């Protein structure tokens, strides 16, 4: 958008202008950072007056600053400088309110001084703020392009917040936790319990777990603990709890993933299905308007085509469980065209055709796609791609574990994303936590497992052919 000003000579008494502005919670966070005013009354997630309900009231001086947007952009426009501004405040504004901001020229003085009435009103006309501005109007014509302003991304994780709120209303799922014998492993399980996402059954060295609980100040008197002499035995007993139906999910504690998965995939007493196991990162990336899933970044090192079919179907099933009925799957490579010297492009093309033929069900699959045209509509258009997936992928399928792992960790540690995750393809969801996970990531993984378990119980997995 471009803005053209009105010079002092072009202005007349009675000239006026108005704009509309939607109040967004992100605006209040930006104002808190820019101004240094961290009053909790103005933070959407905080309870500023102790009544148990977050207020999220628009800061008064942020409201006042909206007037400067009219003065600086429209009337008089670019080149205008403030001399003074009076303000009187009336009704409060909150996130979601649409405000009308206006100015009207009331006087022209010497030295290009212009006086204007100013106001901010609700949609019903009630006054939010009003006052008088005195500005120095521009002397020369000017056009300013908005594209010169760098963009901002607020590091919030609203998708995870919504998912956690949804899962909070579900009954907690019994979860067998294998060897929770480190502080992060035990705290992760207890955190899920405190948020009523899981009911943990702790399987491992009972004496060590109880001692660790005392060191952490945690009361384990109401938590079931099953003694196991070593990690292999803990993994076997945890898997057996799930296989018998006592637990609905499995969580990795302080043991090697290979030890746990060895018992998951064994033919007798394991949790095998006809599917290959695969890991799916579910990510809340600031600036992305939906949950983003990345697979496989933790289980299959160099998956062949047959394994990739299961990787894709596992991810589609999880997307369904999280409320996306028709996920868009982008199969990644370094390029968006088929190249016989690049096997990942051939796999991607075959996966796309298999989805068209109904061999992969429940989502729209397209590939090969490079990362840019999988996530950016502008990049896809530049490359001439016409696709239901290009530029709007919900699921990204990496060609191998290195690419998937680097992509997920780049988004987490560089792109400020939160990442939960789940191992799919077994008879029950498997939660793999990491020592690097923060509290929200641990909670998200528990919530994802709970939502998937409920989806399975309601028959979603059977409809997708995910059970043996």
Q: Provide mean pLDDT across the span 264-271.
A: 92
User: How far, in Å, CA of 294 to CA of 307, rounded?
Assistant: 15
Residue 468 has pLDDT above 60, yes or no: no
Q: What domains lie within the chain, and their CATH numbers?
A: 2-148 (3.10.129.10), 158-464 (3.40.718.10)
Supply the pLDDT for residue 467. 45
Q: Single out the residue of 381, 383, 302, 404 nearest to residue 336, CA to CA.
A: 383
Euclidean distance between CA atoms 423 and 261, whole angstroms: 10
* Cβ 73 vs Cβ 4: under 8 Å: no
> In angstroms, rounded to a whole number, what is the distance separating the alpha carbons of residues 420 and 293?
10
Instruction: Please give the Cα distance from 284 to 156 (Å, whole number).
Output: 9
How far is the CA of 390 from the CAs of 79, 284, 371, in angstroms? 41, 19, 10
- Mean pLDDT calculated for residue range 437-457: 88
- Mean pLDDT value across residues 91-101: 94
Overall average pLDDT of the 460-464 stretch = 56
Specify the pLDDT at position 386: 85
Element (H, E) at 364: strand 364-369
pLDDT at residue 36, rounded to an integer: 93
Mean pLDDT of 329-350: 95
Q: How far apart are CA 151 and CA 253, in angstroms?
A: 41
Helix (H) or strand (E) holding 313: helix 305-321
> Can you tell me the distance from the alpha carbon of 428 to that of 271, in angstroms, rounded to the nearest whole number?
7
Distance CA 439, CA 227 (A): 27
Task: Tell me whether strands 249-252 and 430-431 are parallel, antiparallel or unpaired.
Answer: parallel
Which residues are 120's β-sheet partners?
101, 129
Q: Considering only CA atoms, which of 294, 299, 264, 260 is closest in space to residue 280?
A: 294
pLDDT tens per residue, range 182-213:
999 999 999 999 999 999 999 999 999 999 99
Q: Is 163 left (phi over 0), alpha (psi -120 to 50) or beta?
A: alpha
Nearest to 366 by CA among 383, 390, 384: 390
Q: Which residues contact 165 (CB under 8 A, 6 or more apart)?
A: none
Between residues 147 and 162, the one the model is more confident about = 162
């Amino acid at each position: 958008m471009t803005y053209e000003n009105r010079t002092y000579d072009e202005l007349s008494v009675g000239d006026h202008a108005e704009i509309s502005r939607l109040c967004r919670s992100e605006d209040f966070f930006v104002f808190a950072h820019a101004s240094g005013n961290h009053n909790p009354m103005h933070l959407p997630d905080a309870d500023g007056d102790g009544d148990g309900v977050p207020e999220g009231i628009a800061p008064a001086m942020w409201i006042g600053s909206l007037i400067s947007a009219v003065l600086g952009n429209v009337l008089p426009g670019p080149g205008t400088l403030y001399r003074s501004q009076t303000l009187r405040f009336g009704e409060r504004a909150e996130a979601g309110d649409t405000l009308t901001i206006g100015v009207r020229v009331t006087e022209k003085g010497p030295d290009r001084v212009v006086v204007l009435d100013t106001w901010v009103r609700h949609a019903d006309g009630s006054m939010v703020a009003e006052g008088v501005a005195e500005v120095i109007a521009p002397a020369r014509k000017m056009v300013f392009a908005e594209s010169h302003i760098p963009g901002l991304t607020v590091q919030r994780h609203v998708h995870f917040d919504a998912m956690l709120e949804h899962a909070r209303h579900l009954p907690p799922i019994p979860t067998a936790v294998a060897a929770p014998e480190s502080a992060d492993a035990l705290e992760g399980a207890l955190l899920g319990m405190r948020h009523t996402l899981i009911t943990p059954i702790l399987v491992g060295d009972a004496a060590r777990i109880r001692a660790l609980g005392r060191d952490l100040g945690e009361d384990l008197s109401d938590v079931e603990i099953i003694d196991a002499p070593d990690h292999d035995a803990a993994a076997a007993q945890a898997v057996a709890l799930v296989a018998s139906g006592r637990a609905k999910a499995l969580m990795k504690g302080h043991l090697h993933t290979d030890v746990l998965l060895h018992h998951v995939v064994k033919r007798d007493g394991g949790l095998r299905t006809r599917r290959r196991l695969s890991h799916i990162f579910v990510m809340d990336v600031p600036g992305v308007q939906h949950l983003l899933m990345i697979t496989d970044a933790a289980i299959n090192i160099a998956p062949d085509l047959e394994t990739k079919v299961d990787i894709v179907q596992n991810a589609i099933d999880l997307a369904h469980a999280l409320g996306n009925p028709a996920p868009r799957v982008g199969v990644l490579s370094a390029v968006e065209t088929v190249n016989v010297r690049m096997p990942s492009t051939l796999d991607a093309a075959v996966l796309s055709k298999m989805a068209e033929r109904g061999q992969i069900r429940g989502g729209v699959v397209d590939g090969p796609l490079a990362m840019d045209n999988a996530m950016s509509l502008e990049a896809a258009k530049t490359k001439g791609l016409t696709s239901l997936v290009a530029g709007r992928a919900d699921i990204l399928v990496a060609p191998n574990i290195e690419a998937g792992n680097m992509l997920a960790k780049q988004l987490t540690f560089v792109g400020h994303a939160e990442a939960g995750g789940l191992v799919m393809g077994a008879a029950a969801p498997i939660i793999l936590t990491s020592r690097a996970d923060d509290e929200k990531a641990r909670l998200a993984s528990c919530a994802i497992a709970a939502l998937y378990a409920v989806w399975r119980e309601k028959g979603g997995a059977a409809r997708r052919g995910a059970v043996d």
